[in-house]
Amino acid sequence: MIDIAKILFTVILLNNIVLSQFLGVCSFLGLTTDLKNSMGMSFAVIFVMVVSSAITQPIFQYLLVPNNLEYLQTVVFILVIASAVQILEAIIKKVFPPLYKGMGIYLPLITTNCAILGIMLVNIQESYTFFESLVNGFGAGVSYMLAMFLFVGVRKKMAQAKIPAFFEGLPAALVAAAIVSVSFNGFKGVLENIFGR
């Protein structure tokens, strides 16, 4: 149980998926100008992250490893994620129309989001079990949401600030992201004290 808690809190607070591991930076910078859109994207990411963790981990463990095909993991994972996203989109559209209205348009964008493939590869690299992969996937999604949520606020304030013309937009956003990223380093001591290292 303590292992599960450690995985969850480490991925949410210490190894924040966007601000420390640099996965999904494109969507982070592209969508954080608006709260509603970034939350829609975050929910879609959490959802796809959990579902594809649940699919890729068994595929790797029971299909690729027994046949000595580990080197095919990149090809297999990207195809699994792409098709899972397509199928999910169709299912949600039919079964939960209100949910589709909230996050439907973000689902096609997720295939090329490196956060998903990145976390699937981390699951394999750290040789997590099935349940640990699920927790890691869920935690990564939540940490993506946390980063998005914090940064939307920062950008809202920044929109009112006077910024030199060539710094406007992304350069200023990146410098602000650096400062937000510093704050996540502060959790290092907290987590080491709780879980030990």
Residues engaged in binding other proteins (CB under 8 A):
19-27, 29-31, 33-34, 37, 71-75, 78-79, 82, 105-106, 109, 111-114, 117-118, 121-122, 125, 165-167, 170-175, 177-179, 181-182, 185
CA-to-CA distance for 77 and 111, rounded, in angstroms? 11
Please state the closest distance from residue 2 (CB atom) to other proteins, in A.
Answer: 26
Q: Which pair of structure tokens corresponds to residue 83?
A: 């098709």
How many alpha carbons lie under 13 Å from residue 121 in its C-beta half-sphere?
14
In the complex, least distance from residue 50 CB atom to other proteins, rounded to whole angstroms: 19
Contacts of residue 58, defined as CB under 8 A and 6 or more positions apart, other chains included, come to 130
Q: Taking the complex as a whole, how short is the minimal distance between the CB of residue 118 and other proteins, in angstroms?
A: 6
Q: What angle do CA 20, 22, 27 make, to 5 degrees?
A: 125
Which residue's CB is nearer to other proteins, number 54 or number 180?
A: 180
In the complex, the smallest distance separating the C-beta of residue 160 from other proteins, rounded to whole angstroms, is: 19
Min dist. Cβ of residue 1 to other proteins (A): 27
Is the CB of 36 or the CB of 58 nearer to other proteins? Answer: 36
Question: Cα(55)–Cα(78) distance, rounded to whole angstroms?
Answer: 12
Q: Which residue, 159 or 182, is less far from other proteins as judged by CB?
A: 182
Q: Where are the alpha helices (DSSP H) in the chain?
A: 2-9, 25-31, 35-58, 73-95, 97-103, 107-110, 114-125, 130-160, 170-185, 187-195
Q: How far apart are CA 188 and CA 182, in angstroms?
A: 11
CB nearer to other proteins: give 5 or 26.
Answer: 26
24 vs 137, beta carbon nearer other proteins: 24
